[in-house]
Chains A and B, each alone.
Chain A
């Protein structure tokens, strides 16, 4: 499938595209990765951090970011946590089940080559970063130092842990940290912003952050304190997306319609909005 450009052409944001589940990969508890392909046409091209509305028959849709590599043209993967009715239906799908997507859409991470890269993920927030991580794995020579800091409550909540080895082999410094020490754990202990605060960054460092709002704010603050240019810090926002076309209003964050203007945002443009309770 090619990207629609002519005004009269098919709009994949409006008309759903049927997909079939080709694999269900169990991740951590309550989280699975669905691998899927469209039942007709090609796998849609996308950029890291882009999102689709993923639909379960008779239940509804949830906005999920594509977690596979942007260079992977054989399938898309979506990592989904069982949270509400829709994601519950999605996480219970089996191989061969049909679902649909509307997308991909949204502003991607800025992954322009050059400079160091720090990628910070809190909890399930590593899912919207995985496509960017895989992109850097495949194009490692385009970047300077690449550091990935992944935080989770416990070691059992570290998503994609089995892939760390491959990421490290590709030259990514993967730092996993858990909130409290555990027997047998030899990695870092503490919250992501604390771990970030102990690192040093070059002047040309670009940062990608995904996690709960509070984690993103604290991490951005820690990066700024460590000398990272605030304008080079990007966050990805999660709000209640429904239409994906900027028309239903649900995903507003202040002056942003997150589906239209995000999900990725330059941190300074949303720092105030993220700091206001229930904004």
Chain B
């Protein structure tokens, strides 16, 4: 059996009961400006800033399927016994709206004031492996070129990440067929496995960084081998329950731009862009200039955009991708195919959010399977 380890093969394990858990969260609240974790909002597990350790969602399980999400209570006081909610690290590190600059006009002359960098330090609790990998994918899109986004890098550098192994993936999850999960694999400071027995919830933890190890030494004791073995079994068995898969050759959908399935899926697709909003790697943004009422100050914001909007491709006001079929094709071929040309990897980490949050339940894994089927040739 594969045993998850921390950074550089660090095999140390710590054990946290609920007292040690509270201590860890409070320590993070002392160490960083904002602690963010899964909380309940309007019946959905969201990533939100915590003001107290008690804000975390407790005893929540969820049922997810194509176009469907239900969070319900459970008898166990677990904190992470649910699948991914709609939020990923994207909204934190690459926010839906970011100030870019202010330009002031005085007697016709323009003076540019770039927006100050976001130097807030943040701890994020409950990050799954899909989102750890998505952070690296997103980071590559925003910081690997010759003009890196300094704000992204600053926010990323300010992160302390407390990851969680998935022991109960959602029915929409397919991370194992995209090369990840269910154990937290990379880029965390601390990774936890949640164990629940007899109304007692506790955690086995490993460190992914020196900072993580220091934090764990401060709040917890070492775990005994029996509990470590139980944690490892819980994580390993999660891999077996995932039913959806993405085939290894999914990227070859770029070779079938004329497949009838594109028009067929466009009959169902609303072009709403929900999938791009919840996708942890969809990075597209728009630049919006707004002028003050006195006409002398122009403020530029960068906002999320979606390739499903007609204006996304517009040149001189004329959309280039007029049909929904072409926009769905752009999204899926980019995500799974041309992302490789641009960034040398796939843009999909198998989190399944696009499936859950599609209002009409379009399932990317179904669409890929259909697109990879040869079309019937007319006689």
Chain A residues with a Cβ under 8 A of chain B: 11, 13-16, 18, 39, 57-61, 81, 83-85, 87, 96-100, 238-240, 242-250, 252, 254-257, 260, 276-279
Contact = CB atoms under 8 A, between A and B. Distances in A.
A16 B286 CA distance: 17
Nearest to B283: A249
A14 B110 contact: no
Given A97-B108, A98-B109, A239-B313, A249 B285 contact: yes
A32 B144 CA distance: 37
Nearest to A87: B316
B338 A255 contact: yes
B105 interface: yes
21 contacts: A13-B147, A14-B114, A16-B112, A57-B298, A58-B291, A87-B316, A100-B112, A240-B320, A242-B286, A244-B147, A246-B146, A247-B141, A247-B147, A248-B284, A248-B286, A249-B305, A249-B307, A254-B341, A257-B342, A277-B326, A278-B326
DSSP majority for the B interface? mixed
Contacts of B341: 254-256
A239 B315 contact: yes
A136 to B, nearest CB: 28
B141 A15 contact: no
Given A57-B105, A100-B103, 10 more contacts: A11-B147, A81-B316, A96-B108, A99-B110, A247-B145, A248-B284, A248-B305, A252-B334, A252-B342, A278-B323
B287 A242 contact: yes
Contacts, number: 121
B142 interface: yes
A98 B110 contact: yes
Contact of B330 (A85, A240, A252): A252
A57 B103 contact: yes
A242 B286 CA distance: 7
B147 A245 contact: yes
Nearest to A252: B334
A100 B258 CA distance: 42
DSSP majority for the A interface? loop
Pick the 4 closest A-B CB pairs, nearest first.
A255-B341, A83-B316, A278-B326, A249-B284
Contacts of B326: 277-279
A249 B334 CA distance: 10
B298 A58 contact: yes
B342 A255 contact: yes
B327 to A, nearest CB: 8
Interface in B2-31: none
Interface in B81-130: 101, 103, 105, 108-110, 112, 114
A243 B257 contact: no
Contact of A84 (B101, B307, B316, B321): B316
A254 B254 contact: yes
Contact of B147 (A14, A81, A84, A240): A14
A279 B285 contact: no
B320 A278 contact: yes
Contacts of B69: none
Contacts of B338: 252, 254-255
Contacts of B283: 247, 249
A84 B318 CA distance: 9
Contacts of B101: 15-16
A279 B327 CA distance: 9
A239 B320 contact: yes
A98 B111 CA distance: 10
Interface string B303-336: 0010100001111111011110010001001100
Contacts of B54: none
Contacts of A97: 108
**Of B105, B109, B147, B321, most A-chain CB atoms within 10 Å:** B147
Contacts of A278: 320-323, 326
Contacts of A99: 110
A96 B290 CA distance: 23
A85 B317 CA distance: 8
A247 B289 contact: no
